[in-house]
Structure 1
């Protein structure tokens, strides 16, 4: 993870500016706010004229009509400007979520090895939601409130500077109390967001593995974990509530105290004849115009503290380096050999997973990897697929290092069929065409053809919806063999130059394994194929078998050659093939 930006106002502003704020809309929104403020500031002055000249015989119809029109005009302009500013807030947050999502899907696999998917989801949804609330709700109120306060104070200073200064004594008192509360809120908010992300990750993992939980009768375990997470969120919520419980009554008490003092002092002035009744009423109306924005300021600054904490996490993700070589050479790798040259790799610097692994795969060859579990076979596949980068050595196709190719060019020419039979929620059609740019143009005839090649057409036809059958989350509505054959059909549709099979039949029953193996045999024809297999019966015909133990290549040759030269391989063969 990139070093976290210190939570502060500058990173927050920089992040917002990076979303390309629609400047003209912002200008119009602010102009509308200023017009609203000017209209609103005229109301107490008009009220003063109405009160000072008030009698049943001398009611000014014109003045009443003007006040009524002013109220309507203020409401309309205020509604339009508030909507524009709120729309800008929504636009900023939508762009922020785009930036987060586009970044996440381009991060290397190593990021997802270290971070729960639920945590990342929380960053995209919850943290940006906090920023959204600030920008779309509290920020427009802050802008209009700030303008209103400035205008009201200017008019009040002109009307009666002594009473205005008397009123403003409350400001430093308020700041002394509010600033430490704001700092405390920032700390609580940071803890709340971290705990929310952790809790989201845990419940998402539990629900995605509901079958494992049920099969293991682990409901009580998950109940305890969930209760613990909920309790921690509850404690953070209480701490946050205590802050708000201090802020609200404090602000109310200060404002009411100011109102009482102003009424008392103003009443004395009216009695002395140094202030008119209308001026006192106007002064109180201006005071009320000031009170609401000030109370909303308290909410704005507490939300700002929360948003700064969310910003810290958002920026930390946006600063992570994306996968290398998003832009690179576009090259057809047909009929080119693959060289793995002295490759070393470690997830952590202390633990070497692969050490000086070298081999050559000629075009059209089947290269199989065998060896004890944990030896590094799947890691080697990850390096070829470019999920990870080697710490030394390189992988080349022809004379070109694969790092020089664009990810799109390299991965689009590789067909990958894994043991997990990975599928997305959606239809069979969606899964067959997943990731293809021209998916809408692929005909049903073509899809049925690749399904037939993968021996998947018969079971698909048995569904009433055919290709439009919903498969459920991770394909749970299909059997393992059915999911695997759809994966193979997907590979057929892409017509890959290199095929990678990671224990593709390991978790299947014998009948499904036979059907899948037949489909794989068809798929392998004419393609350079890399195979990981625990069952040696599936790789005895490989052109080359590479035996890997504890990250080192300890044997290489045909099945017969390894039987004669490699003791551990011979033991594997005797156990499985006898």
Structure 2
């Protein structure tokens, strides 16, 4: 059992290493910069390796008479060469690292925008934000902060060991005995660090999700007196991160003392053994000094390399999450058949859909949406009306059945062209942070003139309130349009749809949450928007559906009635009940207004 677990861990580790390399390779790293940085590292290391040899000669034969200006010049040049080459190398590696991470973030951001809505149904926004910022930041830190030091260190260590083997191979073998001992101690600590860092990244993503959710809905939190509850939820994440941090600190507490123990033990062993060799004439004092200097050129980089591998374990964990996101299925945004310019009927034929396996939302739904006509969808809440809109927008794909535009299934049409034809006004039309003009023009695939924007706003009955604002169309609406009222947001959304000039208009109960005055203005705007367009309406109000050319009644995911208002009133018991309830509500509203 333990052997099996170990083999699995090894495969996971190798897979993580390969994923990291593949991620860097796919980010199109600047190869020339990296090659120059490597060359300069070699030059800088060569300069640093000259210094102990020069020191050896000084110790063995130092007298003021033999001290020549050339020796001083060579020493100064060696120091200067090491400093300049090392500095430029570090700069180039940092620059290359930032370019690599920018490439990863660019790929990840592009990927997130191309993923289907179903992906976001099963993912928290905070976790996805953490992928783009926190996880890529870990990769950036590995490349820009640790790679340069470890690269120089490896070169320095190899050069120093080669020189030491030439100088005195017996002393060098004594020193190299520390390597397997250190590796045996550090390997289990590295595995622990990998597990801890992976858990910490998961917890960080979860904590970020809590923060995003609470802070984006802070008004709901306060109106619900939920501050204490959300504080406890956040505190759980904070304490979990604290526990991971403490565990990480424990591992670090082992790593540093172990490294120092190895270093001090090695220094003592070399001084003792070297002293014996010096006293017996097998080694000069200068060679012993040079040995110790080269030792520090091996030991100091070893600490940097140790930090690099610790950070590498974190980067591998981050890479796994980034790679998982990059491998997720995308929407088929490119390709597909061109959408015909002429208006065609939309036909739903035996469409079935479920969000979760075993729980159907729509079952065998069939009806036609005639071009240029108004089709209303009514029925009890939870019947699948909004899901129909999502299928028409191609946010989801039906499990069975087809949705066709003319003779073509919409799944075979160009997704970009298909969505360009649709104008969608929902009950809580989303507003982005920015100006009113930004929101009206949002998603438009061309540059709109001020006159076009104003004309759309006038038709949406929005120009009057916009013009009354101090900054007019340049007014900032705040996050999610918080500075606008519900009616104002709806009219801005209708202006956006008007400017888009869609051929298919979908209205998802666009007036249900408004007061009577706002509803009147919005309804007038919708009447302007519906002129000459194929319109599909989800409606809960009788006044909205009476004038529809066709009404489809859906309950529990099944179409149970279809016809005009008069036809359904005469033949459909549930529609009769729906109409009677609406008439009663309207009468009660008039009585309340009168009194």
Deviation at 1:90, TM superposition (A): 1.1
Q: Which residue of 1 aligns with 2:361?
A: 353
Runs (4+) off by over 4 Å: 4-7
Q: Which residue of 1 aligns with 2:445?
A: 437
Deviation at 1:275, TM superposition (A): 1.8
Is the CA contact (8 Å cut-off) linking 2:333 and 2:416 kept in structure 1? no
Task: Choose from 501, 505, 508 the match for 1:499.
Answer: 505
**Distance in 2, Cα, partners of 1:139 & 1:536:** 68
Is the CA contact (8 Å cut-off) linking 1:145 and 1:294 kept in structure 2? yes
Q: Which residue of 2 aligns with 1:466?
A: 472
Is the CA contact (8 Å cut-off) linking 1:421 and 1:480 kept in structure 2? no
Q: Are positions 1:367 and 2:383 aligned together?
A: no
Q: Which residue of 1 aligns with 2:527?
A: 521
**Structure 1 pair 7–463 and aligned structure 2 pair: CA distance change class (3 A):** farther
**Distance in 2, Cα, partners of 1:486 & 1:248:** 61
Q: Which residue of 2 aligns with 1:167?
A: 175
Deviations 1:83-108 (A, max 9, x none): 11121111111111111111111111
**Distance in 1, Cα, partners of 2:219 & 2:436:** 22
Deviation at 1:52, TM superposition (A): 2.2
Deviations 1:394-443 (A, max 9, x none): 111111111111211000110011111201111111111112233xx322
Task: Choose from 464, 483, 486 the match for 1:480.
Answer: 486
Task: Choose from 451, 454, 459 the match for 1:453.
Answer: 459
Deviations 1:110-169 (A, max 9, x none): 111111111110111111111111122212222211111111100000011111111111
Q: Are positions 1:115 and 2:157 aligned together?
A: no
Map of 1:12-31 to 2, 5 A cutoff? 12-31=20-39
**Distance in 2, Cα, partners of 1:292 & 1:275:** 25
Q: Are positions 1:566 and 2:575 aligned together?
A: no
Q: Unpaired segments of 5 or more residues in structure 1?
A: none
Is the CA contact (8 Å cut-off) linking 1:370 and 1:546 kept in structure 2? yes
Map of 1:269-418 to 2, 5 A cutoff? 269-418=277-426
Map of 1:14-163 to 2, 5 A cutoff? 14-163=22-171
Of residues 492-501 and 276-285 in structure 1, the stretch that sits farther from structure 2 once superposed is 276-285
Tell me the secondary structure at the aligned position of residue 449 of structure 1. Answer: helix
Is the CA contact (8 Å cut-off) linking 1:7 and 1:312 kept in structure 2? no
**Structure 1 pair 125–6 and aligned structure 2 pair: CA distance change class (3 A):** farther
Deviation at 1:5, TM superposition (A): 10
Deviation at 1:325, TM superposition (A): 4.9
Tell me the secondary structure at the aligned position of residue 474 of structure 1. Answer: helix
Q: Which residue of 2 aligns with 1:538?
A: 544
Tell me the secondary structure at the aligned position of residue 496 of structure 1. Answer: coil
Is the CA contact (8 Å cut-off) linking 1:368 and 1:531 kept in structure 2? yes
Q: Which residue of 2 aligns with 1:180?
A: 188
Deviation at 1:376, TM superposition (A): 0.2
Deviations 1:264-305 (A, max 9, x none): 222232233322222112111111111111011111111111
Q: Which residue of 1 aligns with 2:582?
A: 576
**Distance in 1, Cα, partners of 2:325 & 2:365:** 33
**Distance in 2, Cα, partners of 1:478 & 1:442:** 23
Q: Are positions 1:211 and 2:238 aligned together?
A: no
**Distance in 2, Cα, partners of 1:5 & 1:458:** 63
Deviations 1:525-547 (A, max 9, x none): 00001111112221211111111
Deviation at 1:260, TM superposition (A): 1.9
Tell me the secondary structure at the aligned position of residue 421 of structure 1. Answer: coil
**Structure 1 pair 5–397 and aligned structure 2 pair: CA distance change class (3 A):** farther
Of residues 398-407 and 350-359 in structure 1, the stretch that sits farther from structure 2 once superposed is 398-407
**Distance in 1, Cα, partners of 2:407 & 2:188:** 63
Task: Choose from 496, 505, 508 the match for 1:490.
Answer: 496
**Structure 1 pair 308–217 and aligned structure 2 pair: CA distance change class (3 A):** same
Is the CA contact (8 Å cut-off) linking 1:418 and 1:502 kept in structure 2? yes
Q: Which residue of 2 aligns with 1:191?
A: 199
**Distance in 2, Cα, partners of 1:77 & 1:429:** 53
Tell me the secondary structure at the aligned position of residue 114 of structure 2. Answer: coil
Is the CA contact (8 Å cut-off) linking 2:43 and 2:81 kept in structure 1? no
**Distance in 2, Cα, partners of 1:490 & 1:518:** 15
**Distance in 2, Cα, partners of 1:200 & 1:5:** 27
Tell me the secondary structure at the aligned position of residue 383 of structure 2. Answer: coil
**Structure 1 pair 335–437 and aligned structure 2 pair: CA distance change class (3 A):** closer
Is the CA contact (8 Å cut-off) linking 1:21 and 1:92 kept in structure 2? yes
Of residues 132-141 and 539-548 in structure 1, the stretch that sits farther from structure 2 once superposed is 132-141
Deviation at 1:42, TM superposition (A): 1.1
Tell me the secondary structure at the aligned position of residue 546 of structure 1. Answer: strand
Tell me the secondary structure at the aligned position of residue 508 of structure 1. Answer: coil
TM-score w.r.t. the length of structure 1 is 0.97
**Distance in 1, Cα, partners of 2:547 & 2:281:** 111
Deviation at 1:7, TM superposition (A): 5.1
Is the CA contact (8 Å cut-off) linking 2:456 and 2:499 kept in structure 1? yes
**Distance in 1, Cα, partners of 2:497 & 2:14:** 46
**Distance in 2, Cα, partners of 1:113 & 1:157:** 62
Task: Choose from 420, 423, 431 the match for 2:428.
Answer: 420
Q: Are positions 1:259 and 2:278 aligned together?
A: no
Deviation at 1:53, TM superposition (A): 2.6
RMSD over aligned CA atoms reads 1.4
**Structure 1 pair 264–88 and aligned structure 2 pair: CA distance change class (3 A):** same
Is the CA contact (8 Å cut-off) linking 1:500 and 1:530 kept in structure 2? yes
Deviation at 1:54, TM superposition (A): 1.6
TM-score w.r.t. the length of structure 2 is 0.94
**Distance in 2, Cα, partners of 1:393 & 1:5:** 44
